[in-house]
Amino acid sequence: MKTDLFLQYFAPYILDSFLKVPEISTTEGVLFFYPTPVELHKKCIFLGRNHEWMRLLDDGILIDECTYLICTTLEFHNHIPSGFNRRINVLFLNMSIFDVLQLLDRITCGSPNYTHPDGEHILIDFFRTISIQNIPDHESMLQWQSRFPYPLKIFLAAIVVRPEYTGIDKESRGTIHENLSAFFLGTNLFYYHNEWIILYSQDELASDQLSISYGNFSMLLARLNLFAGISYVGVIPENFYTLYLTASASMELGLKINLPSPHKRIYSFTQYHTLYLIHLSARQYDQLHHQAEFYYMAHPDVVRIYLYDKAHNADLLDTLYAFLINNSSLSQTAQYSFMHRNTIYNKLSKIENIIGYPISEIKENSVFILSYMVIRYYRDFQNNDIYENIDSND
């Protein structure tokens, strides 16, 4: 958005300004002054109060190409140092943070006069409906969408956010809601049964990667003691409940079976798809097999390696998994596992001694990878373990 157009919306509230950036972007949502993001994105909008702005100046951590909205009053707004020459926009506004967020929401929707007096109630009613029954047809879905606070874009994903600790108070809940609304600007979200449910949508083609800053989202989750699950991206809004269930399951699985991820506290269905299929299978296993030892679904040699690890306090199974998902490359596995290449080689040689044949003779890597997931699910998610006498040599 052009800066001059942006100014028109805020004109009645501007006390002072310093403008050096001609374009203002809302694609990253709104970031609060603290914590400053590790992944620095140009043309972000930052929001905070006057004393926090002074702290930014003192710390010298301003980011070029960004816009800073400062909520202040006529008496305290004049804090631009003489000779200041950074390439940023600074707007001192006689508004509360809540009012700024409301106006930014309306700008994002395309109308500064757009209001949503009952938007969250509509979203909750919609979610209650789809959790009980399917939306019968696309026309019915369009009727629901017409009542949403914000229009849905083409590609849709579910994001589920839950607090790390139970029993958060009303004030903390309000702070979390405010921060999520700021980050997901112009997005349908609501609080329901101790979690925030976000109907995220975007115009960009995607299957599993959303157009958000995962690094900034991870930092926000850490600061507010939250976790998030993210579904695949779909195009049929009638299927939103399935997206919700997979996002929710990804987080539940991830909190017990934490697979390596570049972004802490974010559990995507991309990572946990296989485990979710195992989860669904495990729910039927007892009934069909008349016994609860789900680990029998794992390849016997994977079970043998696991039992050796258990008896010798080793990590050979993790090493084998890392090797298989890294294209059977020693160098890639060493980098992935933060170990020396020779250490990986020695561990793989030990695995070959246990199973009795070279790892290169494994015919289906996918079976061993799936079996690793079965063992992890059985042990970490179901809180079970495998007990068996084994004859193994060091």
**What are the tens digits of pLDDT across the range 174-186?**
899 999 999 999 8
Distance, CA of 181 to CA of 184 (rounded, Å):
5
Write the pLDDT tens digit of every residue in 75-101.
777 778 888 888 899 999 998 888 888
Q: Stretch 93-113: mean pLDDT, rounded?
A: 74
Distance, CA of 314 to CA of 214 (rounded, Å):
33
The torsion angles phi and psi of 323, rounded to 5 degrees, stand at -65, -45
The pLDDT score that the predictor gives to residue 393 is: 46
Q: Stretch 162-182: mean pLDDT, rounded?
A: 90
Strands (E) across 276-373 are located at none
For residue 117, pLDDT over 60 is answered with: no
The residue with greater pLDDT, 377 or 143, is 377
Query: Which residue has 């047809």 as its token pair?
Result: 137
Considering only CA atoms, which of 185, 197, 315, 309 is closest in space to residue 245? Answer: 197
Write the pLDDT tens digit of every residue in 203-218.
999 888 999 999 999 9
Considering only CA atoms, which of 120, 159, 153, 139 is closest in space to residue 238? Answer: 139
Contact assessment for residue 47 and residue 28, using Cβ atoms and an 8 Å cutoff: no
DSSP structure class, residue 68: E
Average pLDDT, the chain: 87
Q: Stretch 132-147: mean pLDDT, rounded?
A: 83
Contact assessment for residue 381 and residue 257, using Cβ atoms and an 8 Å cutoff: yes
Per the structure block, which two tokens stand in for 281?
A: 């299978």
Query: Which residue has 């016994």 as its token pair?
Result: 291
For residue 274, pLDDT over 90 is answered with: yes
The pLDDT score that the predictor gives to residue 176 is: 94
Does residue 35 have a cis bond before it (omega within 30 degrees)? yes
Q: Stretch 170-175: mean pLDDT, rounded?
A: 89
Helix (H, G, I), strand (E, B) or coil at 377: helix
pLDDT band at 357, cuts 50/70/90? very high
For residue 252, pLDDT over 80 is answered with: yes
The pLDDT score that the predictor gives to residue 41 is: 59
Q: Which of 97-106, 194-203, 224-233 has the lowest mean pLDDT?
A: 97-106
Q: What percent of the chain clears pLDDT 70, i.e. is strictly above it?
A: 92
CA 199 and chain centroid, separation: 13
Other CB atoms within a 10 A radius of the CB of residue 75 amount to 8
Write the pLDDT tens digit of every residue in 305-341.
999 999 999 999 999 999 999 999 999 999 999 999 9
Q: Which of 100-109, 262-271, 293-302 has the lowest mean pLDDT?
A: 100-109
The residue with greater pLDDT, 243 or 45, is 243
The pLDDT score that the predictor gives to residue 36 is: 67
The pLDDT score that the predictor gives to residue 109 is: 59
Q: Stretch 20-49: mean pLDDT, rounded?
A: 76
